[in-house]
Amino acid sequence: MNVLQLLHTCLRSIMRNRMRSLLTSLGVIIGVGSVIIMVALGEGSQRAIEARITAMGTNLLQVMPRRQAGRAGQQVMTRSSSFTVKDIQKLKDESTFASAISGFIQSNYNVFGSQGNAQVSVQGVEPDFIIARNWKISAGYFFDDEDMSLRNRVAVLGRSTAATLFGQPNRALGEQIRIGNNYFNVIGLLESKGAGFSGADQDDVVMVPLDTALTRLTNSRNINQILISVISKEYMASAQKEAELILRESRKIPEGAAADFDIMNQSDMIDMASATSKTLTTLLAAIAGVSLLVGGIGIMNIMLVSVTERTREIGIRMAVGGRKRDILFQFLTESVILSIMGGILGIGLAFLVCRIMIAAGIPAAINPLIILASTLFAAFVGIIFGYYPALKAAKLYPIDALRYE
């Protein structure tokens, strides 16, 4: 029996019982679809996390004071050693890998505009902040070094804040807002960024010059954080070591002593998030893959029933010259075709579900390699679970098979 005759015979046998064939393939359909959907969800989540981390800035290093435990009487207290303007200036003077450096402080204040008021995150930053955070100005302009040195009361608003305080974002330009007892002139609007890594709205923000915030809002010289944008991703590790050495020298930390600050590397954050997402994706795909094995067992069960039903047909084929291997290949091919048909329908199901999820705002990204792997695995399941029924059919004695009722 040549290949074309074999395929024709198998397809005719499968199409003779369409509903049973469909139900037989149902386990494989669900299995392949589940694997592709789970992996698509994992891939989509990973890309969304990476995009949110990348949106925080370009090649970003975040330097933060380390909380240290101390004892006051019977209580254990924690304190953090904040940074100073001197620390930031030393980084700017000596860093060779940084493209932008900015101090950063943040507090929540009631901010008042002409159309409303809201509790808003007010950030004291330097002009390089929008470079470090990869932020763009959609209208107006950002404050400069002159505004910093003169401690001008100017502010740049996120679009959500501008809409809350003035009804429409574009109405905010040239207007005044009140933060505490201080009035600030709105000179710019930030481009919309949406939700951040933590899920908070990044557009609900007011930015003012760092020196102005220190003198007029916090009445302190303590800086909570330093942001460093590195010139290239390949220099991230070198920039991190360099920043640590400069700050240890600036803060007079002896060699061998523990630093009183931590440096978070954006690349490390992305790698950690990616590794976690990949682990979860693998776990979910493995769980979904179990349904493929269940589908394979279903195929084996139906093929065994089919062998029993077609015992007389097998005897006739053997009586007219059919060899054992012809019978073996026939039933094995039927099993593989059922599995592959289930795989193709499972792929279609996965595409449909992923389309619905994307339309609903759930991140999903179908990987072509997973589609190929799932199809091949479905065929492999057909071979493994179809071999025993096919072998059983091939081992039938022609006389016994012809006499079977």
The pLDDT value recorded for residue 399 is 62
The pLDDT value recorded for residue 187 is 94
The pLDDT value recorded for residue 210 is 93
Which stretches of the chain score pLDDT less than 50? 70-79
The pLDDT value recorded for residue 206 is 93
> Is the pTM higher than 0.75?
no
DSSP one-letter code for 173: T
Burial code of 281-292, b = ≥16 C-beta within 10 A, e = fewer?
beebbeebbebb
List, as one string, the DSSP characters of 103-171.
Answer: EEEEEEEEEE-SS-EEEEEEEEE-TTHHHHTT--EEEE----HHHHHTT--EEEE-HHHHHHHHSSGGG
The pLDDT value recorded for residue 301 is 77
Residues forming beta bridges with residue 177, ordered by sequence position = 184
From the number of C-beta atoms within 10 Å of its C-beta (0-12, 13-18, 19+), residue 252 rates as: exposed
Distance CA 125, CA 109 (A): 16
C-alpha dist (Å) from residue 48 to 45, 76, 256, 355: 5, 40, 40, 17
The pLDDT value recorded for residue 309 is 66
User: Would you state the torsion angle of the CA atoms of residues 152, 158, 159, 165, taken in this order, to the nearest 10 degrees?
Assistant: -60
Task: Tell me the chain's radius of gyration from C-alpha atoms.
Answer: 34
List alpha helices for 150-265, DSSP H.
159-166, 210-212, 236-250
Instruction: Report the candidate in 350, 331, 336 with the shortest Cα–Cα distance to residue 396.
Output: 331
The pLDDT value recorded for residue 398 is 64
DSSP one-letter code for 221: -
Collapsing DSSP states into helix, strand and coil, what is residue 331?
helix
205-250: per-residue pLDDT in tens? 999 999 999 998 888 888 989 999 888 888 888 898 999 999 998 8
Instruction: Locate 33 and state its tokens.
Output: 């679809």
The pLDDT value recorded for residue 84 is 87
Look up tokens 């098979």; give the residue. 401
The pLDDT value recorded for residue 322 is 65
The pLDDT value recorded for residue 262 is 87
Tell me the domain boundaries of the chain.
3-51+272-403, 82-259
Distance CA 365, CA 36 (A): 10
The pLDDT value recorded for residue 285 is 76
Q: Where are the beta strands (DSSP E) in 191-350?
A: 205-209, 225-230, 261-265
Collapsing DSSP states into helix, strand and coil, what is residue 75?
strand
